[in-house]
Chains A and B, each alone.
Chain A
């Protein structure tokens, strides 16, 4: 079975400051890794994912995440946040050989302060 830990439930940060949202996972098998974002009163949207290859993956809106196998981490970063980045962010894993079932972390609420 897989599990995901997001230690920070809330992260306040000032506009244009950098941010890192932490994600650690546990699994006995190889996994795919995902970051989903949930804006207020909406469903989840995929932000980025790691399947294989380069350990650094990027999204179209400036976020990036780095897969670190030795530390079993997949932290999400952005060098300069905007007000519009205020949302809840979920890290998730799925078994590479499974039915695509996602195991989610408990989420991190990012609040960007003007």
Chain B
């Protein structure tokens, strides 16, 4: 299994509070991704990173920010959590872009915003 951990694995927070989710990899892969999974929507890309300090928006980036100061860590921040951000969040990594390179997924973080 690819070495990907996510923390925390579960979190309950209140509307309006800031939340940071962490993704840590031990594979030294260049590309990292944050997805959210919701019933009826599958997985949707929030943000991705193509190197240290290099990030870009995905399909559903509003209300989220990311940072990547080290190759191994990719942080997802909800500046002011809302109930619509209740979801399961998955981090993924990939060695390279294009050529159908496989993405490896972490175990997920279940976030509940009350």
Cα distance A44–B4 in the bound complex, in angstroms? 12
Q: Within the complex, what minimum Cβ distance (angstroms) separates A58 from chain B? A: 16
For A43, give its contact among B90, B98, B101 (CB under 8 Å). B90
By a CB distance below 8 angstroms, the chain B residues around A100 are: 31, 94, 96-98, 101, 103
Number of residues from B at the complex interface, CB < 8 A = 29
Closest to A96 in B: B98
A-B contact count (CB 8 A): 64
Give 1 or 0 for each of B38-52: 1 = CB within 8 Å of chain A CB: 001111110010100
Q: Does A97 contact B (CB under 8 A)?
A: yes
By a CB distance below 8 angstroms, the chain A residues around B45 are: 101-103
Cα distance A9–B107 in the bound complex, in angstroms? 22
A-B contact pairs, 5 of them (CB 8 A): A42-B107, A100-B31, A101-B33, A101-B45, A103-B45
Known: A96-B98, A101-B58. 15 other contacts (CB 8 A): A42-B108, A43-B4, A43-B108, A44-B43, A45-B105, A51-B100, A90-B42, A98-B97, A99-B31, A99-B50, A99-B97, A100-B96, A103-B45, A104-B42, A107-B42
